[in-house]
Amino acid sequence: MKVRDGLFGVLVLATIVFLLVACQGTPPPPTAAPAPTPVPCPTCAACPAPAPCPEAKPAVEVPFEAAWTGSPHNDKTAEAFVHWDAATPAEVPASCAKCHSTPGYLDFLGADGSAAGKVDKAAAIGTTVQCAACHNDVTATKTSVTFPSGIEIQDLGDESRCMECHQGRESKLSVDKLITDTFKITDMDAVVKPFVDSKGVTQTFGFRNVHYFAAAATQYGTLVKGGYEYEGMLYDGKFRHVEGYDTCISCHNSHTLEVKVEECTACHKDVKAVTDLLDIRMNGSLMDYDGDGNAKEGVSAEAAGLQEKLLVAITTYAKEVPKQDIGYDAVTYPYFFADANANGKLDTGEKSYSTWTARLLRAAYNYQVASKDPGKFAHNAKYIIQLLHDSIADLNTKLAAPLDLSKAARNDAGHFDGTAMAFRDWDDAGMVPAGCAKCHSATGLPQFLTNGGTVAVTGSGSIVTSGVVGAEPSNGLACTTCHDDLTDFSVRAVTSVPFPSGKSVTFSTEKDEKGNLKPVDANLCIECHQGRQSTVAVNNRLKGLEDDVVPEKKLSFLNVHYFAAGATLFGNDAQVAYQYADKEYAGRNTHAPGLDTCTGCHQTHELELSLDKCVTCHAGVKSPQDIRATAADFDGDQDTKEGVAGEIATLEEKLFVGLQTYAQDVAKTAIAYSSTAYPYFYADANGNGAADQDEKAYTDWTPRLLRAAYNYQYVQKDPGAFAHNPKYAAQILYDALEDLGTGGVKIDMTGMTRP
């Protein structure tokens, strides 16, 4: 029902709607709206031309990168650079970073903005010695390096970059500090035990490692004291080799680090490869240093021979004194081990050596110094040889059976003896003054000859300190001192030599096609072997003074200087000894043809006398002192069979007695003499006839006493005077004695003969 009603309602509603529409009529068709005016399309601006693509920049080419890449400085696998990779934390400690990382080296230089001269912090691992380490604003102007000893070497070039790391980490000073300051050791052979210091830190006496490749410390020798130098001994300074080849970078390629072998061949003709360098033997190194009887092997073998001996001495000492066997292993820290089974090598379970005495420590330190510089034979072989020799000698003092060093030479012949005071006297000053440099430096004589008689600033080896001109100290003479060309080793040409007296002498006799004297090699010798005073100088000093009166303004002694052999040989022609007025003196000793010059009788480099030449005429003599070429009894001892050297020696003895008698009786002050201590003549305060430590220089000279003392010193300082010119030597001694006798003292000259 309800559904039907709903349907009905719908129908009604639809009818109503229909009716309403019908009432309105049919609707009109719709009117179309007017079309809008079309807007013209805007004109688009032309597209800008695309910017050209930037050209690819060429890769920056790093100079010498390829050479450096394969060098030990860039060996990324080397222990020197990977040692700390597994550490906690993984970083290079500040104490190691300077040389084992690039950031550490820059930190040390201050090139990173930090304070220079120290490493402030640990460095990141992963670097080697990279370009920036050596090429930066600081190294560009770097000229000095301070060594572990605290000694600073100045006036360096680019080699200073190398020397900061290749200098070691210990020195004589640090070893001595450990012994004398930290442990205050007085017994060098007592085993040193640990102790707790005032800060509660346990101090242990143990091995000190110089570290690796301390080439610069080797090269500079005693100037930086990288080795342990024993008290009372002198050591070679810097090994200078030859000009242009005496720095790290002049001998090694800066980037590959390889030795420039091809440049060595200019002088060392037999060198073809690096290994050939081991066989080099220079004419300044002609001694049998290790005492094995072979003085022709390379100097490297000489050092190696001594090093072997030192290890024997070390092991023997350890067994006999601290009574614990010691062994050495070159590649395992800390190198020296307690050799439990005494087999001489490191075995599993053997621990570091701990039974150290101070004497053993010093020797072991030097053994390691030699071990850790594989190029020691080239850097400064003689310094290493001296360290090894002295270490053996020191241990020998405590060995039951000392090692035989009787045939082992420590030092070279005079001209090359870098330990002699003739070359070491100026180390502290750092300069040999011009007045001494001519004969006491490697560069002085060439400069003297080049400059016509002066040592001036003209090239390598010349320096100026506080306005004073001089030369650098050297280890004796060098090849270039006497040779002006190292390819054919021609000798510097000298034809005439001026002497202190103002006279000039020469060995030259032959003339060239122009009528000029030809140079003779021996003329070069007498440039130095001529003394420094003369008859003229003595007379000038004594002019106007009474012979037997000590003047109010006291006199000082005039020293002729050393080895005035050339002056002796030329005698009256040179007038360097004191020649008394109205006396005649022998001139040049011409001896025999071919044996009347320095080089005719002496070996040029060894300086030894060629005795084999002497026996040709002087049959049966065993030494030069045995030779007698006169029948006269110069000294009046009635021995006419002794060698002429004996005649001269007795005259010297009698003259010294005469000096003492005259000094006591006339000058009223006793006199003493020391041949080794300047100024040689001393006031003998205690009258014991010897120059004692606290006695002062003699000043109560009368002119007569000074003249006689001058001649006494002259012959003392030419120990070969009996051979160089025996007649002249006898004359100046005889005349000095005779002159003292006229001064109021009794001089017994009975039986003496003046030549």
- Inform me whether the pLDDT recorded for 637 exceeds 80: yes
- Inform me whether the pLDDT recorded for 555 exceeds 90: yes
Please tell me whether the overall predicted TM-score, pTM, comes out greater than 0.95 for this model: no
Phi-psi group of 126: left, alpha or beta (phi > 0 → left; psi -120 to 50 → alpha; rest → beta): left
Place of tokens 């090994």: 239
Q: Quick one: angle between helices 726-741 and 644-662, nearest 10? A: 20
Grade residue 12 by pLDDT with cuts at 50, 70 and 90.
very low
Determine contact, residues 229/235, Cβ cutoff 8 Å.
Answer: yes
**What residue segments make up the domains of the chain, in order of their start?**
64-141, 159-243+281-410, 433-491, 535-741
Residues 528-534, mean pLDDT to the nearest whole number: 97
Residues 556-574, mean pLDDT to the nearest whole number: 97
Q: What letter would DSSP give residue 667? A: I
Residue 34's pLDDT is 58
Which contiguous run of DSSP H or E holds residue 505? strand 504-505
Residue 106 backbone dihedrals phi, psi, to 5 degrees:
-65, -35
> How many other C-beta atoms are found inside a 10 Å radius of the C-beta of residue 464?
12
CA distance 493 to 520: 7
Both tokens assigned to 246: 């005496």
In order of 315, 347, 437, the CA distances from 325 in angstroms are 7, 13, 50
> How many other C-beta atoms are found inside a 10 Å radius of the C-beta of residue 275?
9
> How many other C-beta atoms are found inside a 10 Å radius of the C-beta of residue 41?
6
| Single-letter amino acid code for the residue at 410 | R
Residue 629's pLDDT is 86
How many Å is the Cα radius of gyration of the chain? 43
Q: How many CA atoms lie within 13 A of 621 on its CB side?
A: 22
Instruction: Produce one character per residue of 171-206: b if its CB has 16 or more CB atoms within 10 Å, e if not.
Output: bbbbbbebbeeebebeebeebbeeeeeeeeeeeebb
Place of tokens 């080296």: 105
Mean pLDDT of the chain: 91
Residues 68-73, mean pLDDT to the nearest whole number: 96
- Inform me whether the pLDDT recorded for 32 exceeds 60: no
Grade residue 453 by pLDDT with cuts at 50, 70 and 90.
confident
- Size (the chain), residues: 755
Collapsed DSSP state (helix, strand, coil) of residue 422 = helix
- Inform me whether the pLDDT recorded for 212 exceeds 60: yes
Determine contact, residues 236/419, Cβ cutoff 8 Å.
Answer: yes
Residue 317's pLDDT is 98
Cross-strand partners of 609: 602
Grade residue 470 by pLDDT with cuts at 50, 70 and 90.
confident
CA distance 548 to 705: 8
Phi-psi group of 365: left, alpha or beta (phi > 0 → left; psi -120 to 50 → alpha; rest → beta): alpha
Residue 461's pLDDT is 53
Per residue in 496-527, pLDDT (tens digit) is: 999 999 999 999 999 999 999 999 999 999 99
Provide the H-helix boundaries in 78-189. Answer: 79-82, 94-100, 102-109, 131-134, 159-163, 172-176
Residue 71 backbone dihedrals phi, psi, to 5 degrees:
-90, 160
CA distance 730 to 741: 17
- Inform me whether the pLDDT recorded for 46 exceeds 60: yes
Phi-psi group of 209: left, alpha or beta (phi > 0 → left; psi -120 to 50 → alpha; rest → beta): beta
Residues 73-89, mean pLDDT to the nearest whole number: 96
Residues 3-29, mean pLDDT to the nearest whole number: 40
- Inform me whether the pLDDT recorded for 33 exceeds 90: no
Residues 598-626, mean pLDDT to the nearest whole number: 93
Per residue in 385-426, pLDDT (tens digit) is: 999 999 999 999 999 999 999 999 999 989 999 999 999 999
Grade residue 17 by pLDDT with cuts at 50, 70 and 90.
very low
Task: Please state, for a pLDDT cut of 90, what percent of the chain lies above it.
Answer: 86
- The CA-to-CA distance between both ends of the chain, in Å, stands at 185
The region of weakest confidence among 46-55, 107-116, 197-206 is: 46-55
CA distance 223 to 217: 9
- Inform me whether the pLDDT recorded for 53 exceeds 80: no
Residues 741-751, mean pLDDT to the nearest whole number: 94
- Inform me whether the pLDDT recorded for 132 exceeds 90: yes
- Inform me whether the pLDDT recorded for 22 exceeds 70: no
- Inform me whether the pLDDT recorded for 85 exceeds 90: yes
Residue 57's pLDDT is 66
Residues 684-704, mean pLDDT to the nearest whole number: 96
Residue 15's pLDDT is 40
Residues 156-180, mean pLDDT to the nearest whole number: 97
Instruction: Produce one character per residue of 302-323: b if its CB has 16 or more CB atoms within 10 Å, e if not.
Output: bbbbbbebbbebbbbbbbebbe
Collapsed DSSP state (helix, strand, coil) of residue 135 = coil
Cα 383 to the chain's mean position, in Å?
A: 7
Grade residue 58 by pLDDT with cuts at 50, 70 and 90.
low
- Inform me whether the pLDDT recorded for 20 exceeds 50: no
